Structure 1
Protein backbone atom coordinates (compact mmCIF):
# COMPACT_ATOMS: atom_id res chain seq x y z
CA UNK A 1 0.00 0.00 0.00
CA UNK A 2 1.11 3.57 -0.54
CA UNK A 3 2.64 4.99 2.62
CA UNK A 4 1.30 8.50 1.98
CA UNK A 5 -2.32 7.40 2.32
CA UNK A 6 -4.19 8.39 5.47
CA UNK A 7 -5.94 5.70 7.50
CA UNK A 8 -9.27 6.84 6.09
CA UNK A 9 -7.96 6.57 2.53
CA UNK A 10 -6.53 3.11 3.25
CA UNK A 11 -9.88 1.82 4.46
CA UNK A 12 -11.74 3.28 1.49
CA UNK A 13 -9.16 1.78 -0.88
CA UNK A 14 -9.61 -1.62 0.75
CA UNK A 15 -13.38 -1.48 0.33
CA UNK A 16 -13.12 -0.26 -3.25
CA UNK A 17 -10.37 -2.59 -4.48
CA UNK A 18 -10.08 -5.62 -2.20
CA UNK A 19 -13.81 -6.07 -1.57
CA UNK A 20 -15.41 -4.34 -4.54
CA UNK A 21 -12.94 -5.43 -7.23
CA UNK A 22 -11.52 -8.62 -5.70
CA UNK A 23 -7.93 -7.34 -5.48
CA UNK A 24 -6.52 -10.11 -3.26
CA UNK A 25 -2.95 -8.92 -3.73
CA UNK A 26 -3.87 -5.61 -2.11
CA UNK A 27 -5.66 -7.44 0.70
CA UNK A 28 -2.60 -9.61 1.35
CA UNK A 29 -0.43 -6.49 1.63
CA UNK A 30 -2.62 -4.49 4.00
CA UNK A 31 -3.83 -7.12 6.51
CA UNK A 32 -1.50 -7.60 9.48
CA UNK A 33 -0.23 -11.10 10.25
CA UNK A 34 -1.68 -10.88 13.79
CA UNK A 35 -5.04 -9.51 12.57
CA UNK A 36 -7.79 -9.74 15.23
CA UNK A 37 -11.35 -10.45 14.11
CA UNK A 38 -14.39 -9.48 16.23
CA UNK A 39 -17.13 -9.85 13.61
CA UNK A 40 -19.83 -12.37 14.49
CA UNK A 41 -19.65 -13.59 10.89
CA UNK A 42 -15.87 -13.95 10.57
CA UNK A 43 -13.43 -16.67 11.54
CA UNK A 44 -10.24 -15.54 13.30
CA UNK A 45 -7.00 -14.50 11.64
CA UNK A 46 -5.64 -13.15 8.40
CA UNK A 47 -5.90 -16.43 6.48
CA UNK A 48 -9.62 -16.74 7.22
CA UNK A 49 -10.27 -13.18 6.03
CA UNK A 50 -8.37 -13.76 2.81
CA UNK A 51 -10.33 -16.96 2.24
CA UNK A 52 -13.59 -15.07 2.72
CA UNK A 53 -12.46 -12.48 0.16
CA UNK A 54 -11.63 -15.28 -2.31
CA UNK A 55 -15.12 -16.72 -1.89
CA UNK A 56 -16.62 -13.26 -2.32
CA UNK A 57 -14.64 -12.80 -5.53
CA UNK A 58 -16.20 -15.98 -6.97
CA UNK A 59 -19.78 -14.97 -6.28
CA UNK A 60 -21.82 -13.72 -9.26
CA UNK A 61 -21.92 -9.94 -9.53
CA UNK A 62 -24.89 -7.87 -10.74
CA UNK A 63 -24.36 -6.11 -14.06
CA UNK A 64 -25.02 -2.65 -12.59
CA UNK A 65 -24.33 -2.86 -8.85
CA UNK A 66 -25.64 0.09 -6.86
CA UNK A 67 -23.01 2.42 -5.46
CA UNK A 68 -22.85 1.96 -1.69
CA UNK A 69 -23.73 4.91 0.50
CA UNK A 70 -20.76 5.70 2.73
CA UNK A 71 -20.20 7.91 5.79
CA UNK A 72 -16.70 7.66 7.26
CA UNK A 73 -15.15 8.93 10.49
CA UNK A 74 -11.45 8.61 11.36
CA UNK A 75 -9.91 9.14 14.78
CA UNK A 76 -6.25 8.25 15.19
CA UNK A 77 -5.79 4.55 14.46
CA UNK A 78 -9.57 3.88 14.34
CA UNK A 79 -11.76 4.29 11.26
CA UNK A 80 -15.53 3.75 11.24
CA UNK A 81 -17.47 3.33 8.00
CA UNK A 82 -21.28 3.67 8.03
CA UNK A 83 -22.77 2.13 4.89
CA UNK A 84 -25.87 1.03 3.08
CA UNK A 85 -24.91 -1.97 0.94
CA UNK A 86 -26.68 -4.56 -1.17
CA UNK A 87 -25.50 -8.15 -0.79
CA UNK A 88 -27.25 -11.17 -2.24
CA UNK A 89 -30.11 -8.93 -3.29
CA UNK A 90 -30.69 -7.71 0.27
CA UNK A 91 -30.08 -4.22 1.59
CA UNK A 92 -28.22 -3.87 4.88
CA UNK A 93 -27.03 -1.07 7.10
CA UNK A 94 -23.44 -1.74 8.16
CA UNK A 95 -21.04 -0.18 10.61
CA UNK A 96 -17.52 -1.39 9.91
CA UNK A 97 -14.75 -0.34 12.31
CA UNK A 98 -11.04 -0.97 11.80
CA UNK A 99 -7.97 -0.36 13.91
CA UNK A 100 -4.86 0.22 11.84
CA UNK A 101 -1.28 -0.20 13.00
CA UNK A 102 1.62 1.01 10.87
CA UNK A 103 -0.84 1.39 7.98
CA UNK A 104 -2.07 -2.22 8.18
CA UNK A 105 -5.44 -3.63 9.24
CA UNK A 106 -4.82 -4.92 12.77
CA UNK A 107 -8.32 -5.32 14.22
CA UNK A 108 -11.91 -5.31 12.98
CA UNK A 109 -15.40 -4.95 14.46
CA UNK A 110 -18.77 -4.63 12.75
CA UNK A 111 -22.53 -4.69 13.07
CA UNK A 112 -24.96 -5.56 10.30
CA UNK A 113 -28.66 -4.70 10.37
CA UNK A 114 -30.87 -6.09 7.57
CA UNK A 115 -33.35 -3.55 6.27
CA UNK A 116 -36.97 -4.58 6.12
CA UNK A 117 -38.82 -1.30 5.63
CA UNK A 118 -39.75 -1.39 1.95
CA UNK A 119 -39.02 1.83 0.14
CA UNK A 120 -37.64 3.55 3.23
CA UNK A 121 -34.21 1.94 3.53
CA UNK A 122 -32.23 5.04 2.63
CA UNK A 123 -33.72 7.01 5.49
CA UNK A 124 -31.74 4.80 7.87
CA UNK A 125 -28.40 6.12 6.59
CA UNK A 126 -29.07 9.15 4.41
CA UNK A 127 -28.14 12.62 5.49
CA UNK A 128 -24.99 14.73 5.76
CA UNK A 129 -21.58 13.11 5.38
CA UNK A 130 -19.29 16.14 5.20
CA UNK A 131 -16.85 16.54 8.08
CA UNK A 132 -16.57 20.04 9.56
CA UNK A 133 -15.63 21.76 12.84
CA UNK A 134 -12.44 19.76 13.33
CA UNK A 135 -11.42 22.01 16.21
CA UNK A 136 -14.47 20.77 18.15
CA UNK A 137 -13.60 17.05 17.93
CA UNK A 138 -12.53 16.62 21.57
CA UNK A 139 -15.48 18.63 22.91
CA UNK A 140 -17.99 16.65 20.82
CA UNK A 141 -16.50 13.30 21.91
CA UNK A 142 -16.70 14.37 25.54
CA UNK A 143 -20.33 15.42 25.14
CA UNK A 144 -21.31 12.05 23.66
CA UNK A 145 -19.41 10.18 26.39
CA UNK A 146 -21.22 12.27 29.01
CA UNK A 147 -24.60 11.72 27.32
CA UNK A 148 -23.97 7.97 27.17
CA UNK A 149 -23.11 7.82 30.85
CA UNK A 150 -25.89 10.07 32.14
CA UNK A 151 -28.80 9.23 29.83
CA UNK A 152 -28.19 5.92 28.06
CA UNK A 153 -26.62 4.15 31.03
CA UNK A 154 -27.77 6.30 33.94
CA UNK A 155 -31.34 6.61 32.61
CA UNK A 156 -31.57 10.25 33.67
CA UNK A 157 -34.47 10.98 31.32
CA UNK A 158 -35.02 14.53 32.59
CA UNK A 159 -31.50 15.44 31.43
CA UNK A 160 -31.91 14.09 27.90
CA UNK A 161 -33.30 17.23 26.27
CA UNK A 162 -30.27 19.33 27.17
CA UNK A 163 -28.10 17.29 24.77
CA UNK A 164 -30.26 17.85 21.65
CA UNK A 165 -31.10 20.70 19.31
CA UNK A 166 -34.79 21.60 19.06
CA UNK A 167 -35.19 20.17 15.54
CA UNK A 168 -33.26 16.95 16.25
CA UNK A 169 -33.48 14.41 13.37
CA UNK A 170 -33.86 10.72 14.27
CA UNK A 171 -32.97 7.99 11.73
CA UNK A 172 -33.26 4.97 14.03
CA UNK A 173 -36.44 3.16 12.89
CA UNK A 174 -37.02 1.71 16.36
CA UNK A 175 -37.26 5.11 18.02
CA UNK A 176 -39.96 7.67 17.38
CA UNK A 177 -39.10 11.13 16.16
CA UNK A 178 -37.54 13.67 18.45
CA UNK A 179 -36.38 13.38 22.03
CA UNK A 180 -39.79 12.14 23.16
CA UNK A 181 -39.62 9.17 20.78
CA UNK A 182 -36.06 8.40 21.84
CA UNK A 183 -37.04 8.36 25.51
CA UNK A 184 -39.92 5.97 24.83
CA UNK A 185 -37.61 3.52 23.06
CA UNK A 186 -34.89 3.75 25.69
CA UNK A 187 -37.29 2.61 28.39
CA UNK A 188 -37.03 -0.89 26.85
CA UNK A 189 -33.22 -0.71 26.95
CA UNK A 190 -31.04 -1.73 29.89
CA UNK A 191 -27.33 -2.05 30.69
CA UNK A 192 -26.25 0.42 28.01
CA UNK A 193 -22.46 0.57 28.17
CA UNK A 194 -20.23 2.55 25.82
CA UNK A 195 -16.90 0.87 25.04
CA UNK A 196 -15.30 3.24 22.53
CA UNK A 197 -15.96 6.76 21.31
CA UNK A 198 -14.31 8.09 18.18
CA UNK A 199 -14.89 11.41 16.54
CA UNK A 200 -13.90 13.68 13.70
CA UNK A 201 -15.20 17.20 13.86
CA UNK A 202 -19.00 17.28 13.86
CA UNK A 203 -19.38 13.46 13.72
CA UNK A 204 -18.99 11.07 16.65
CA UNK A 205 -19.38 7.27 16.64
CA UNK A 206 -19.99 5.36 19.87
CA UNK A 207 -19.51 1.59 20.09
CA UNK A 208 -21.75 0.18 22.84
CA UNK A 209 -23.45 -2.89 24.22
CA UNK A 210 -26.99 -3.03 25.58
CA UNK A 211 -29.93 -5.28 26.37
CA UNK A 212 -33.05 -4.60 24.35
CA UNK A 213 -36.07 -6.31 25.91
CA UNK A 214 -33.56 -8.51 27.80
CA UNK A 215 -31.76 -9.56 24.58
CA UNK A 216 -28.04 -8.61 24.27
CA UNK A 217 -27.10 -6.35 21.35
CA UNK A 218 -24.06 -4.52 20.07
CA UNK A 219 -24.99 -1.04 18.84
CA UNK A 220 -23.10 1.67 17.01
CA UNK A 221 -24.56 5.15 17.43
CA UNK A 222 -23.55 7.77 14.86
CA UNK A 223 -24.13 11.38 15.85
CA UNK A 224 -23.90 14.65 13.97
CA UNK A 225 -23.42 17.59 16.32
CA UNK A 226 -24.08 21.25 15.81
CA UNK A 227 -22.91 23.95 18.23
CA UNK A 228 -22.34 21.48 21.04
CA UNK A 229 -25.63 19.57 20.75
CA UNK A 230 -26.84 16.44 18.95
CA UNK A 231 -28.53 17.42 15.69
CA UNK A 232 -28.91 14.03 14.00
CA UNK A 233 -28.64 10.36 15.00
CA UNK A 234 -28.26 7.06 13.14
CA UNK A 235 -27.61 3.60 14.56
CA UNK A 236 -26.72 0.06 13.51
CA UNK A 237 -27.70 -2.75 15.89
CA UNK A 238 -26.93 -6.45 15.85
CA UNK A 239 -28.00 -9.16 18.25
CA UNK A 240 -25.06 -10.82 19.99
CA UNK A 241 -25.15 -14.48 18.89
CA UNK A 242 -25.08 -17.31 21.40
CA UNK A 243 -21.98 -18.70 19.71
CA UNK A 244 -19.15 -16.93 17.90
CA UNK A 245 -16.66 -18.37 15.35
CA UNK A 246 -13.78 -17.09 17.52
CA UNK A 247 -12.95 -16.25 21.14
CA UNK A 248 -12.18 -12.53 20.60
CA UNK A 249 -15.61 -11.24 21.61
CA UNK A 250 -17.86 -9.00 19.54
CA UNK A 251 -16.43 -5.87 21.21
Structure 2
Protein backbone atom coordinates (compact mmCIF):
# COMPACT_ATOMS: atom_id res chain seq x y z
CA UNK A 1 0.00 0.00 0.00
CA UNK A 2 1.39 3.41 -0.95
CA UNK A 3 1.55 6.21 1.59
CA UNK A 4 -1.18 8.02 -0.32
CA UNK A 5 -3.45 4.98 -0.15
CA UNK A 6 -2.62 4.49 3.53
CA UNK A 7 -3.50 8.07 4.50
CA UNK A 8 -6.72 8.02 2.49
CA UNK A 9 -7.78 4.78 4.14
CA UNK A 10 -6.86 6.01 7.63
CA UNK A 11 -8.63 9.35 7.21
CA UNK A 12 -11.63 7.58 5.68
CA UNK A 13 -12.00 5.41 8.77
CA UNK A 14 -11.24 8.18 11.26
CA UNK A 15 -13.27 11.04 9.79
CA UNK A 16 -15.47 9.30 7.24
CA UNK A 17 -16.72 6.38 9.32
CA UNK A 18 -15.92 8.30 12.54
CA UNK A 19 -14.47 5.13 14.01
CA UNK A 20 -12.38 5.74 17.17
CA UNK A 21 -10.92 2.22 16.94
CA UNK A 22 -9.18 3.28 13.71
CA UNK A 23 -6.72 5.13 15.94
CA UNK A 24 -5.34 1.77 17.06
CA UNK A 25 -4.85 0.60 13.46
CA UNK A 26 -3.39 3.72 11.90
CA UNK A 27 -1.86 6.07 14.48
CA UNK A 28 1.62 5.82 16.00
CA UNK A 29 1.97 5.72 19.80
CA UNK A 30 4.28 8.74 19.48
CA UNK A 31 1.90 10.74 17.27
CA UNK A 32 3.08 14.37 17.07
CA UNK A 33 0.38 16.99 16.67
CA UNK A 34 0.71 20.53 15.27
CA UNK A 35 -3.00 21.26 14.92
CA UNK A 36 -4.81 23.61 17.29
CA UNK A 37 -7.58 21.00 17.66
CA UNK A 38 -5.84 18.31 19.71
CA UNK A 39 -2.86 17.50 21.92
CA UNK A 40 -0.09 15.02 21.15
CA UNK A 41 -0.61 11.29 21.04
CA UNK A 42 -3.32 8.90 19.86
CA UNK A 43 -5.73 9.40 22.76
CA UNK A 44 -6.53 13.09 22.10
CA UNK A 45 -7.16 12.13 18.47
CA UNK A 46 -9.47 9.34 19.62
CA UNK A 47 -11.34 11.86 21.78
CA UNK A 48 -11.67 14.23 18.80
CA UNK A 49 -13.04 11.49 16.55
CA UNK A 50 -15.44 10.33 19.27
CA UNK A 51 -16.80 13.85 19.69
CA UNK A 52 -17.55 14.58 16.03
CA UNK A 53 -21.15 15.76 15.69
CA UNK A 54 -23.94 14.12 13.71
CA UNK A 55 -23.76 15.19 10.10
CA UNK A 56 -20.00 15.68 10.17
CA UNK A 57 -18.34 14.84 6.87
CA UNK A 58 -15.17 15.48 4.89
CA UNK A 59 -15.30 16.39 1.20
CA UNK A 60 -11.93 15.65 -0.40
CA UNK A 61 -10.67 17.63 -3.38
CA UNK A 62 -7.10 16.47 -4.04
CA UNK A 63 -4.20 14.52 -2.54
CA UNK A 64 -0.46 15.14 -2.95
CA UNK A 65 2.15 12.57 -1.93
CA UNK A 66 5.85 13.30 -1.57
CA UNK A 67 7.96 10.64 0.13
CA UNK A 68 6.73 10.11 3.68
CA UNK A 69 4.47 13.20 3.49
CA UNK A 70 0.88 13.18 2.22
CA UNK A 71 -1.25 16.33 1.96
CA UNK A 72 -5.03 16.46 1.68
CA UNK A 73 -7.02 19.45 0.41
CA UNK A 74 -10.75 19.48 1.05
CA UNK A 75 -13.71 20.78 3.04
CA UNK A 76 -14.84 19.83 6.55
CA UNK A 77 -18.56 20.06 7.24
CA UNK A 78 -19.50 20.08 10.91
CA UNK A 79 -16.36 21.29 12.71
CA UNK A 80 -18.13 24.61 13.27
CA UNK A 81 -21.17 26.62 12.20
CA UNK A 82 -19.86 26.91 8.64
CA UNK A 83 -17.83 24.60 6.40
CA UNK A 84 -14.05 24.93 6.60
CA UNK A 85 -11.60 24.63 3.70
CA UNK A 86 -8.54 22.76 4.95
CA UNK A 87 -5.10 21.49 4.17
CA UNK A 88 -4.02 18.48 6.24
CA UNK A 89 -0.48 17.16 6.10
CA UNK A 90 0.51 13.76 7.50
CA UNK A 91 3.91 12.15 7.93
CA UNK A 92 3.88 8.36 7.65
CA UNK A 93 6.52 6.42 9.57
CA UNK A 94 8.40 3.29 8.47
CA UNK A 95 5.81 1.10 10.21
CA UNK A 96 2.98 2.47 8.07
CA UNK A 97 1.46 4.56 10.86
CA UNK A 98 0.45 8.22 10.96
CA UNK A 99 3.30 9.79 12.93
CA UNK A 100 2.82 13.56 12.60
CA UNK A 101 0.11 15.99 11.51
CA UNK A 102 -0.15 19.65 10.51
CA UNK A 103 -3.22 21.52 9.29
CA UNK A 104 -4.75 24.90 8.43
CA UNK A 105 -8.40 25.86 7.98
CA UNK A 106 -10.37 28.84 6.73
CA UNK A 107 -14.12 29.45 6.31
CA UNK A 108 -15.72 28.44 3.02
CA UNK A 109 -16.72 31.47 0.93
CA UNK A 110 -19.58 31.01 -1.52
CA UNK A 111 -19.31 34.34 -3.39
CA UNK A 112 -15.74 34.57 -4.73
CA UNK A 113 -14.07 37.21 -6.90
CA UNK A 114 -13.19 34.70 -9.64
CA UNK A 115 -16.43 32.73 -9.55
CA UNK A 116 -14.35 29.65 -8.73
CA UNK A 117 -14.61 27.78 -5.46
CA UNK A 118 -11.75 27.39 -3.02
CA UNK A 119 -11.33 23.71 -3.96
CA UNK A 120 -12.51 23.15 -7.55
CA UNK A 121 -10.19 22.87 -10.56
CA UNK A 122 -7.57 20.30 -11.55
CA UNK A 123 -7.66 17.42 -9.08
CA UNK A 124 -5.15 14.72 -10.11
CA UNK A 125 -1.37 15.25 -10.30
CA UNK A 126 -0.08 15.16 -13.88
CA UNK A 127 3.29 15.63 -15.58
CA UNK A 128 4.92 13.38 -12.97
CA UNK A 129 8.29 13.44 -14.73
CA UNK A 130 8.68 17.15 -13.98
CA UNK A 131 8.10 16.97 -10.24
CA UNK A 132 11.53 18.25 -9.25
CA UNK A 133 11.65 20.92 -11.96
CA UNK A 134 8.26 22.21 -10.84
CA UNK A 135 9.33 22.18 -7.19
CA UNK A 136 12.45 24.18 -8.06
CA UNK A 137 10.44 26.72 -10.07
CA UNK A 138 7.96 27.33 -7.24
CA UNK A 139 10.70 27.55 -4.62
CA UNK A 140 12.53 30.14 -6.74
CA UNK A 141 9.25 32.05 -7.11
CA UNK A 142 8.75 31.87 -3.35
CA UNK A 143 12.25 33.18 -2.67
CA UNK A 144 12.15 36.05 -5.16
CA UNK A 145 8.49 37.07 -5.10
CA UNK A 146 6.86 35.84 -1.89
CA UNK A 147 9.81 36.40 0.45
CA UNK A 148 11.73 38.97 -1.60
CA UNK A 149 8.60 40.94 -2.65
CA UNK A 150 10.08 41.53 -6.12
CA UNK A 151 6.87 41.75 -8.12
CA UNK A 152 8.74 42.93 -11.22
CA UNK A 153 9.59 39.28 -11.99
CA UNK A 154 6.04 37.90 -11.62
CA UNK A 155 5.76 37.09 -15.32
CA UNK A 156 8.94 35.01 -15.11
CA UNK A 157 6.95 32.54 -12.99
CA UNK A 158 3.22 33.11 -13.50
CA UNK A 159 1.49 32.61 -16.84
CA UNK A 160 0.19 35.79 -18.46
CA UNK A 161 -2.26 33.74 -20.53
CA UNK A 162 -3.85 31.43 -17.94
CA UNK A 163 -3.72 32.04 -14.21
CA UNK A 164 -6.71 30.53 -12.43
CA UNK A 165 -7.28 31.84 -8.94
CA UNK A 166 -9.10 30.11 -6.06
CA UNK A 167 -8.37 32.64 -3.33
CA UNK A 168 -11.89 33.97 -2.68
CA UNK A 169 -10.83 37.63 -2.79
CA UNK A 170 -8.76 37.55 -5.99
CA UNK A 171 -9.99 37.37 -9.57
CA UNK A 172 -8.24 35.35 -12.27
CA UNK A 173 -5.07 36.65 -13.89
CA UNK A 174 -2.20 38.80 -12.69
CA UNK A 175 -4.44 41.87 -12.64
CA UNK A 176 -6.79 40.07 -10.27
CA UNK A 177 -3.94 39.25 -7.92
CA UNK A 178 -2.63 42.81 -8.09
CA UNK A 179 -6.02 44.32 -7.32
CA UNK A 180 -6.53 41.99 -4.35
CA UNK A 181 -3.04 42.73 -2.99
CA UNK A 182 -3.71 46.48 -3.23
CA UNK A 183 -6.98 46.08 -1.33
CA UNK A 184 -5.28 44.00 1.36
CA UNK A 185 -2.54 46.63 1.74
CA UNK A 186 -5.19 49.33 2.24
CA UNK A 187 -6.59 47.17 5.06
CA UNK A 188 -3.15 46.92 6.68
CA UNK A 189 -2.73 43.31 5.57
CA UNK A 190 0.46 43.23 3.50
CA UNK A 191 1.59 39.82 2.26
CA UNK A 192 4.72 39.11 4.29
CA UNK A 193 6.40 35.72 3.87
CA UNK A 194 9.21 35.18 6.39
CA UNK A 195 10.17 31.55 5.78
CA UNK A 196 9.13 28.59 3.66
CA UNK A 197 8.72 25.68 6.05
CA UNK A 198 7.79 22.84 3.67
CA UNK A 199 7.58 22.27 -0.07
CA UNK A 200 5.75 19.14 -1.25
CA UNK A 201 5.61 18.29 -4.92
CA UNK A 202 3.93 15.64 -7.02
CA UNK A 203 3.92 16.22 -10.75
CA UNK A 204 2.40 19.58 -11.60
CA UNK A 205 1.29 20.27 -8.00
CA UNK A 206 3.57 22.06 -5.52
CA UNK A 207 2.36 22.83 -1.98
CA UNK A 208 4.16 25.35 0.23
CA UNK A 209 3.68 25.78 3.96
CA UNK A 210 5.08 29.15 5.02
CA UNK A 211 5.33 31.36 8.06
CA UNK A 212 4.58 35.05 7.76
CA UNK A 213 2.26 37.94 8.49
CA UNK A 214 -1.02 39.12 7.02
CA UNK A 215 -1.90 41.87 9.45
CA UNK A 216 -1.24 39.27 12.17
CA UNK A 217 1.12 36.26 12.32
CA UNK A 218 -0.19 33.59 9.95
CA UNK A 219 0.51 30.24 8.37
CA UNK A 220 0.31 30.42 4.58
CA UNK A 221 -0.57 27.23 2.72
CA UNK A 222 -0.25 27.80 -1.04
CA UNK A 223 -0.92 25.12 -3.63
CA UNK A 224 0.33 25.86 -7.15
CA UNK A 225 -0.21 24.00 -10.41
CA UNK A 226 2.55 24.36 -12.97
CA UNK A 227 2.27 23.86 -16.75
CA UNK A 228 5.00 24.42 -19.34
CA UNK A 229 7.29 26.06 -16.81
CA UNK A 230 4.78 28.62 -15.49
CA UNK A 231 2.35 28.73 -12.56
CA UNK A 232 -1.18 28.47 -13.98
CA UNK A 233 -3.41 27.83 -10.95
CA UNK A 234 -3.42 28.67 -7.24
CA UNK A 235 -5.34 27.58 -4.13
CA UNK A 236 -4.60 28.72 -0.59
CA UNK A 237 -5.49 28.81 3.08
CA UNK A 238 -4.28 31.68 5.25
CA UNK A 239 -4.68 30.80 8.93
CA UNK A 240 -3.85 33.02 11.93
CA UNK A 241 -1.30 31.55 14.33
CA UNK A 242 -3.13 30.83 17.63
CA UNK A 243 -1.81 32.43 20.79
CA UNK A 244 -2.07 29.08 22.57
CA UNK A 245 -1.87 25.48 21.39
CA UNK A 246 -2.74 22.24 23.28
CA UNK A 247 0.87 21.05 22.78
CA UNK A 248 4.38 22.48 22.64
CA UNK A 249 5.14 21.61 19.01
CA UNK A 250 4.15 24.86 17.32
CA UNK A 251 1.99 25.21 14.22
CA UNK A 252 4.89 24.48 11.86
Relative to the length of structure 1, the TM-score reads 0.89
User: Could you list the per-position Cα deviations for residues 19-65 of structure 1 after superposition, in whole angstroms to 9, with x for gaps in the alignment?
Assistant: 11122222212111111000022222221111111222xx3237xx6
Partner of residue 231, structure 1? 232
May I ask how many residue pairs the two structures share in their alignment? 241
| Greater Cα offset, 169-178 or 8-17 | 169-178
Aligned equivalents of 2:102 and 2:156: distance in 1? 31
CA contact (8 A) 2:193 2:210 kept: no
For 1:9-88, what aligned pairs fall within 5 Å after superposition? 9-56=5-52, 59-61=53-55, 68-87=59-78, 88=80
**2:116 & 2:152 partners in 1: Cα distance?**
32
Name 1:180's counterpart in structure 2.
175
State the match for 1:100 in structure 2: 92
Q: Aligned to 1:18, what secondary structure does the other structure show?
A: helix
Give the SS at the match of 1:10.
helix
Task: Kindly state the Cα deviation for residue 9 of structure 1 after the two structures are TM-superposed.
Answer: 0.7
Matched with 2:120 is 126
Structure-2 residue corresponding to 1:250:
251
1:117: Cα distance to partner? 3.5
Instruction: Identify the match of residue 197 of structure 2 among 195, 198, 215.
Output: 195
User: Which consecutive aligned stretches of 4+ in structure 1 deviate over 6 angstroms post-superposition?
Assistant: 119-122
Indicate the residue corresponding to 1:208 in structure 2.
210
* Structure 2 CA distance for aligned equivalents of residues 239 and 93 of structure 1: 14
Query: Mapping of 1:139-154 within 5 angstroms?
Result: 139-154=133-148
Unmatched segments (≥5 aa) in structure 1: none
State the partner residue of 2:166: 171
Please state how far the C-alpha of 1:122 moved relative to its aligned partner: 6.3
Query: Take 1:150 and 1:19, find their aligned partners in 2: how far apart are those partners?
Result: 39
**TM-score, scaled relative to structure 2:** 0.89
Q: Which SS does the other structure have where 2:163 is aligned? A: strand
1:113/1:230 Cα in 2 relative to 1: closer, same or farther (>3 Å)?
same
3-state SS of 1:93 partner? strand
- Greater Cα offset, 199-208 or 175-184: 175-184
Task: Identify, as 1 or 2, the structure richer in strand.
Answer: 1
C-alpha separation in 2, matches of 1:9 and 1:209: 29
Higher alpha-carbon deviation: 187-196 or 228-237? 187-196
Q: Which moved more, 1:70-79 or 1:190-199?
A: 190-199
RMSD: 2.0
